Chains A and B, each alone.
Chain A
Amino acid sequence: MNKKTTLDKLRKDVPKKGLTQKEVLDSTEYTEGEFVKIYSELESGFEDS
């Protein structure tokens, strides 16, 4: 099982820059414009959070 930590030791809410758009698009097989393209059937057409 996972080890434990405390709330106080969690990461502070400070944003940092990650990958560039080019790096993201270069890392995927299919793209269209600024988007990652994924071939898949439409099951529900909505987000499932």
Chain B
Amino acid sequence: MMPKNKPSKIYTEKYDLIVGLEIHIQTNTQSKMFCTCPAKYFQKEPNTQVCPVCLGLPDAPLPLVNKRAIELCILMGLGTNCNIENEIHFYRKHYSYPDLAKGYQISQYNNPLCSNGYVETVDGVRIDIERIHPEEDVAKSTHHTEKSSGKSYFLIDYNKSSVPLIEIVTKPCIRTPKDAKDFATEVRKIARYLNISEGDMEKGQMRCEPNISVQEKGKWEYKDGKIVPKGNYKLNPKIEVKNIGSITAVEKSIIYERERLIKCIEEGEEIIQQTRGWDADRNITVFQRSKEDAEDYNYTPDPDIPIIEVSSTDIERISEELIELSNEKIKRYIKDWDISKYAAEVISSTKENAYYFEKLQKQLSKELSEKEAALEASNWLMGTIFAIGNLNIDIADLTLLILAFKNGIITKNKGEEILKDSLENGKDIKKELEKIKEEKENVTDNLVEIVKDTIKNNSKAVNDYMGGKESTLGFLVGQVMQNTKGTANPNDVRETLINELKK
């Protein structure tokens, strides 16, 4: 069954979609969460970024908490409007799997470091965050079957074991697949803006796991951050989806599960709480296992890690790293500069784009009004610079180019040509513009002569025009423009042509 963007009719009439999202983000730290092994494991030789602590060896030294990983978790909490706890308690989350060296994962249980926050999506939908806490990643494992014996086995690379993670859990307040996608996009933007993580899902730096259920309309309510049944209604179990490799797949997997669950209910099939995996090739989810509840993990306080006190001074110091985030920028661009919502969203989608835009706007506003400068900067970024895909163009050069366009010295096409020439062949934009200006002055001085020559060399077109075929004038303007290598002002050319043709 392929995911459909449009909800089925029965869905809209009878059921509500309820989604909570769990997101794991690897932090931008140099070392691991509880040991000094390097945390950058991408494309490293397997099992080369490890020590007895992250291997869970019996004689390993005690775990030592990475200060920066905790600071980044607090920064994520501050960036998402959370309350920050003044103590951090680490717990051992027990389960047995080959990717977990110690037999437990060090995580948090109750009293997470950050709680009760929220994020607003680009559409202004508020998504409530239940908790954000630090924990450690597990090893990378691949499953195989031995040909000779038929035995099942795993090959393990422990480089990823104990890389710092931030876990973000929303309340079950998401009501559409798009809102889930928008929330994940927003979280990634916050992580990138604040240098918490690159958030590259293909590299596993960010993982999204939606918890999905469908409930009959009017038979449940959202109360104190929880879904509770009304009367005798029995809530349908939720499904957790893993193995999602892109933000688009977050939306697709929810759409698929929504339709699958409704079909199950309508056909009288019992739904069991379970974990399913997203199969991106087939655009479906597949059963993986019945889902454990928290009590199955036997959480116990980790006796090897002291309770960490977080003071208000710590929080104040960390909050100095907060900067204006994408959503705030969008609002400001629209309110102060009348930029379209679409342009504001695209420009602020990355910190690099937004900073480039703001610098260009500031530079242009020395010659133009604030709004005009923002509009020109936005038009050039959206229409030309993002298409070229290069933000290495010097702001001062680009400003000169845009002002030359505004002053009628060059056309937009000519401007783009100069930009590309500068990037591909290293041509100096300033010198190119000076050359064009000079040529233009020469052309202006000699325009009458050039027009006269053009009239002389295009007698048929001239006769057609004189015979009443006015559209021929466009052809003649084009001929003059060609003769001036595009440097003449088309309006001046037109006017001069008309004058000369009258003679």
Q: Report which A residues bind B (CB closer than 8 A).
A: 1-8, 10-21, 24-25, 27, 30, 32-49
Closest Cβ neighbor of B57 among chain A residues: A27
Across the interface, do A43 and B66 meet the contact criterion of CB distance under 8 Å? no
CA distance A10 to B65 in the complex (A): 6
Given the known A-B contacts A2-B306, A46-B277, are A16 and B37 also in contact in the complex, defined by CB atoms under 8 Å? yes
Please, which residues of chain A bring their CB within 8 A of the CB of B308?
4-7, 10
Across the interface, do A4 and B309 meet the contact criterion of CB distance under 8 Å? yes
Leading 7 A-B pairs by shortest Cβ distance: A18-B51, A13-B68, A10-B67, A35-B155, A15-B38, A16-B36, A15-B31
Given the known A-B contacts A11-B65, A15-B31, A46-B243, are A24 and B303 also in contact in the complex, defined by CB atoms under 8 Å? no
Given the known A-B contacts A47-B141, A48-B138, are A18 and B50 also in contact in the complex, defined by CB atoms under 8 Å? yes
Listed by A's residue number, 19 A-B pairs whose Cβ atoms lie within 8 Å are A2-B302, A2-B305, A3-B307, A4-B307, A7-B71, A7-B309, A8-B67, A13-B66, A14-B31, A18-B35, A19-B51, A20-B48, A35-B47, A37-B156, A44-B277, A45-B143, A47-B140, A49-B135, A49-B207
Across the interface, do A36 and B155 meet the contact criterion of CB distance under 8 Å? yes
Report A10 CB to chain B, min CB distance, Å.
4
Please, which residues of chain A bring their CB within 8 A of the CB of B98?
38, 40
The one of A21, A38, A49 in contact with B154, judged by C-beta atoms closer than 8 angstroms, is A38
The one of A3, A8, A46 in contact with B314, judged by C-beta atoms closer than 8 angstroms, is A8
B382 within 8 A of A: no
Across the interface, do A49 and B306 meet the contact criterion of CB distance under 8 Å? no
Please, which residues of chain B bring their CB within 8 A of the CB of A14?
30-31, 36
Interface 1/0 per residue, B293-318 and A, CB below 8 Å = 00000000111011111110010000
- Could you count the A-B residue pairs with CB atoms below 8 Å apart for me: how many are there? 163
Across the interface, do B309 and A13 meet the contact criterion of CB distance under 8 Å? no
Across the interface, do B47 and A21 meet the contact criterion of CB distance under 8 Å? yes
Q: Using a Cβ–Cβ cut-off of 8 Å, how many residues does chain B contribute to the interface with A? A: 70
- With A13-B68, A49-B138 known, 13 other A-B pairs at CB within 8 A are A4-B309, A7-B71, A13-B31, A16-B36, A24-B47, A34-B47, A38-B98, A40-B98, A42-B152, A44-B97, A44-B277, A45-B288, A48-B97
Report A6 CB to chain B, min CB distance, Å.
5
Please, which residues of chain B bring their CB within 8 A of the CB of A46?
242-243, 277, 288
Closest Cβ neighbor of B68 among chain A residues: A13
CA distance A6 to B136 in the complex (A): 20
CA distance A11 to B99 in the complex (A): 25
CA distance A30 to B153 in the complex (A): 10
Interface 1/0 per residue, B45-57 and A, CB below 8 Å = 1111111101101
Across the interface, do A43 and B37 meet the contact criterion of CB distance under 8 Å? no
CA distance A25 to B155 in the complex (A): 12
Across the interface, do A15 and B157 meet the contact criterion of CB distance under 8 Å? no
Please, which residues of chain B bring their CB within 8 A of the CB of A10?
64-67, 70, 308
Across the interface, do B309 and A6 meet the contact criterion of CB distance under 8 Å? yes
B165 within 8 A of A: yes
B181 within 8 A of A: no
Please, which residues of chain A bring their CB within 8 A of the CB of B309?
4-7
B158 within 8 A of A: yes
Please, which residues of chain B bring their CB within 8 A of the CB of A21?
45-48
CA distance A6 to B426 in the complex (A): 54
B80 within 8 A of A: no
Report A15 CB to chain B, min CB distance, Å.
4
